[in-house]
Structure 1
Amino acid sequence: MNSPSSKLPDNFPFKLSPGLKEYLFNRFEKTFKKPFFTEESACEFWHDHSKNNDGNTIFDILKKCYPQLNFPIETGIEKSELYKDFVLRGKKNFTNLKACTELNDSKSIKFEVSKNLAGKIPLLTISNEEDFVRLIQSLLYKNNPVEIPHSMGAVLINGINNWERINILKNRWLAKNPLGNWNQEFSNVILNKSLYKDKLIILSTKPYSNVPANQLGLNDDIWISHSISIRKEHEFTHLYTLKRYGLASNNLHDELIADYIGIIKTIGYFDKGWMLNFLGLEEYPKYRRGARLENYIKENRLSQEDFKQLITIIKNAIEAIAIFDKKMGKLISAKDQRCRIEALCETGLTILASQNGSSVLLDNYYESFNIHESVDLEFPN
């Protein structure tokens, strides 16, 4: 595609530090794109288990699949032998556990196997905010009480051991090989992660990016409905880039792409004011501390000058996306959506933030459109 984003455009207004240049490097650009997506084998498991639940709540089923949910949220608990036995070695008897992850409203957890542009994926919707935090702490942070930002409302988990799936594999294998050595066979199973690792999306139902309804001039009910939709489409977009490029990063480039799709899929057009609010830039050049933008730079040691340059780059990139969206009009098909995602992926932030960012983005869209037209790519129907 046009204008490689690893090289700064001639009219780029900043001289970037090495740290900021590294952060802004577009990893999508040189990545091999997979021509087709395979269906997640976990979806068949979840179709069966969510229907044949024997009166159990979805949380009861989750605790069997992910044993860490049987442990309390406690600093360093993952170092205990008991935790290792259950979570890493898959022991099934939970009667020895004195405490578990307690939820305020486990019965209200909603579960579905959701179909989207990238295929199907198990999706949990958690209405209680404290329960959402506990599930994230357990499944992502090994039951440690890591602080979860209020502006974080969803997560795509890419690969978590499902011990119920492993036990099904074990029982089927032993039925066919009653004298066989399962431990030896398991060393072969481990090599095929699709057999036992789940992809999973977890959503909260709180206001998107922790932005209150009145800040956007909406009533609470409408905004919560919009928030859930944006959040879901946002995570589906991460899933698409993960399957297409092998990438779904905790980076502002990925977030702009996912937010853009979330907004246009929800209200039919891009509202740049919403995206500025989501990232804390509604009063640009002033930044609202505690906003979602800072969630994506915590691991990077950026100076104050770097940060100042970064928010200008993000603001300019959002302006370019707004111009692009106005030219494109309403989303009309799955192909249109794919091409918009891929054009945004392959147009880096430094290009987007340049004077001709929207033009390059549009060129890359048409190039992607022609590729999809000339090559019989396989995608889920």
Structure 2
Amino acid sequence: MSDQQSFRTDVLTYFGATAAQVEELLVYNQNVFDHNTLTDRVKFPLTSESHIPAWEEYAVSAKVLGVFEVLKQRLVQFQFPIIEGISQTEAYQSATRRGVATDRMVATGLVLQEPEKLQLILHQSLAGTIPVLLTGNRKDFVCLVQALTKRNEPQPVPNSMGACIVSGFNNWDRIRQYRQQWSAENPANCSQRSWLAEFERLIPQKQLYQDKFIILSNSSYSNVSAKHIGLEKAQWQHLSLTIRLEHECTHYFTRRLFNSMRNNIFDELVADYRGIVAAIGTYRADWFLHFLGLESFPNYREGGRLQNYLGNPSLSDGAFGILQVLVKAAAENLQSFHVEYVSQLRDANIQPLMLMALTNLTLEELASLEAHFRIKKILDRLQKNWGVEMCNLVSLQ
């Protein structure tokens, strides 16, 4: 057993986990961020990915036609309604798997309640520019999530879910544009047979046709009302949008830097940390616990976000109980650390390093009595490696 695993086991035992629960949680809380992929120092924000020019073109066209109309022309999923079983039809599979034109295939396309309120924002995040689709109401958000991540099937979307980052989206519009350019460059050899050979060469180059983007709702964050958070409705809606956007951008950050973006509570803790800090300039553990359904700990509120991250296979009830204790301790330790160094952590140079530092830890380490020491040690090392000069960072050295 490694020193880290032994330490994690001791922490879990300290918090009351049985041997079986320790085994479950060691697997669930395993750190899978691949830090070996980051071999060189990078500059933030990262260079934008290759799908951004296509979305910049969509944004330009949207100024004339509207976002919804443009996306209906470009993304095949917008050309199908949300109907149970539609993903199994020949028309849908031909369009989404082979890029066959949908003309005369379907009687109606995607239907939104307020299509005129759909916005396309090209947001500059730490991980580079990323397209954001912001809906005007909850039902339209659910509709877009179902169309773009659930194959236009009416699968349920939890009420506590107000954002979704889409990764590995096959954009047939980009493939069509690629074919047009290839045909123009090969006028004497652009037959259907030649194109099929070229298409086989294209398939491994996923950056040329797979997109990443974010779908956002404008509802209260984690389905928590302004009243329960102690704010006015308009103020909370504004803060909710910031938290939600930066939360999803943090998933994008870890995906680009460390090749990982999981449906896991530790990922959520890091992402909510970034979102809350971006919204109000500091971190509040009580907000995070409220978002999860742990505002009345040790009681858990059914419908809280925490139950969305039970893993596969799902944690046992006993392990879920220990997870709640870990999450509370980790959030409070993170707040304590942030408050102590809040002036330093406001520096734009240190903010991405803080996120990187957290990805080096596990939930057990962050929940432990050594949390401050472990965050500080990693942040010091990253600061040294990245050459970040901060006159006020003496207390971190």
TM class by smaller structure: over 0.9
1:98-113 alignment to 2 at 5 Å? 98-113=107-122
**C-alpha contact 1:6 1:26 (8 A) present in aligned 2:** no
Q: Does 1:50 align with 2:69?
A: no
Q: How far, CA to CA, are the matches of 1:30 and 1:320 in structure 2?
A: 24
Q: How far, CA to CA, are the matches of 2:113 and 2:39 in structure 1?
A: 42
Tell me which residue corresponds to 1:21: 26
Match of 1:288 among 286, 295, 301: 301
Match of 2:282 among 266, 269, 273: 269
**C-alpha contact 1:8 1:350 (8 A) present in aligned 2:** yes
Q: How far, CA to CA, are the matches of 2:198 and 2:33 in structure 1?
A: 37
Flag the 1:8–1:102 CA change in 2: closer, same or farther, 3 A: same
Residue type at the aligned position of 1:232: L
Secondary structure at 2:8 match in 1: coil
**C-alpha contact 1:207 1:213 (8 A) present in aligned 2:** yes
Tell me which residue corresponds to 2:50: 41
Superposed CA RMSD: 2.0
Secondary structure at 2:103 match in 1: coil
Q: Which moved more, 1:65-74 or 1:113-122?
A: 65-74
User: How far apart are 1:374 and its partner, in Å?
Assistant: 7.7
Tell me which residue corresponds to 1:373: 387
User: How far apart are 1:66 and its partner, in Å?
Assistant: 2.0
What's the TM-score once normalised by structure 1's chain length? 0.93
Flag the 1:374–1:231 CA change in 2: closer, same or farther, 3 A: closer
Q: How far, CA to CA, are the matches of 1:5 and 1:276 in structure 2?
A: 26
**C-alpha contact 1:62 1:69 (8 A) present in aligned 2:** yes
1:141-156 alignment to 2 at 5 Å? 141-156=150-165
Match of 2:132 among 100, 123, 138: 123
Greater fraction helix: 2
Q: Give the number of equivalent residue pairs.
A: 373
Q: Does 1:90 align with 2:95?
A: no
Flag the 1:168–1:118 CA change in 2: closer, same or farther, 3 A: same
Identity of aligned residues (%): 34
Residue type at the aligned position of 2:285: K
User: How far apart are 1:74 and its partner, in Å?
Assistant: 2.0
Q: Does 1:334 align with 2:339?
A: no
User: How far apart are 1:315 and its partner, in Å?
Assistant: 0.5
Match of 2:265 among 222, 234, 252: 252
Residue type at the aligned position of 1:44: P
Greater relative CO (CA pairs within 8 A, separation 6+) = 1
Flag the 1:112–1:6 CA change in 2: closer, same or farther, 3 A: farther
Q: How far, CA to CA, are the matches of 1:212 and 1:196 in structure 2?
A: 39
**C-alpha contact 2:78 2:109 (8 A) present in aligned 1:** yes
Residue type at the aligned position of 2:24: G
Secondary structure at 1:115 match in 2: strand
What's the TM-score once normalised by structure 2's chain length? 0.89
Q: Does 1:4 align with 2:30?
A: no
User: How far apart are 1:347 and its partner, in Å?
Assistant: 1.3
1:176-225 CA distance string (max 9 Å, x none): 21232111111111111111111101111100000000101101000000
Query: Structure 2: which 5+ residue stretches go unaligned?
Result: 390-397
Tell me which residue corresponds to 1:163: 172
Q: Which moved more, 1:350-359 or 1:237-246?
A: 350-359
User: How far apart are 1:11 and its partner, in Å?
Assistant: 4.9
Q: Which moved more, 1:296-305 or 1:352-361?
A: 296-305
Q: Which moved more, 1:39-48 or 1:235-244?
A: 39-48
1:217-366 alignment to 2 at 5 Å? 217-297=230-310, 299-330=312-343, 331-366=345-380
User: How far apart are 1:81 and its partner, in Å?
Assistant: 0.9
Q: Which moved more, 1:225-234 or 1:177-186?
A: 177-186
User: How far apart are 1:373 and its partner, in Å?
Assistant: 1.3
User: How far apart are 1:7 and its partner, in Å?
Assistant: 4.7
Q: How far, CA to CA, are the matches of 2:154 and 2:102 in structure 1?
A: 25
Residue type at the aligned position of 1:177: N
User: How far apart are 1:296 and its partner, in Å?
Assistant: 1.0
Query: Structure 1: which 5+ residue stretches go unaligned?
Result: 376-381
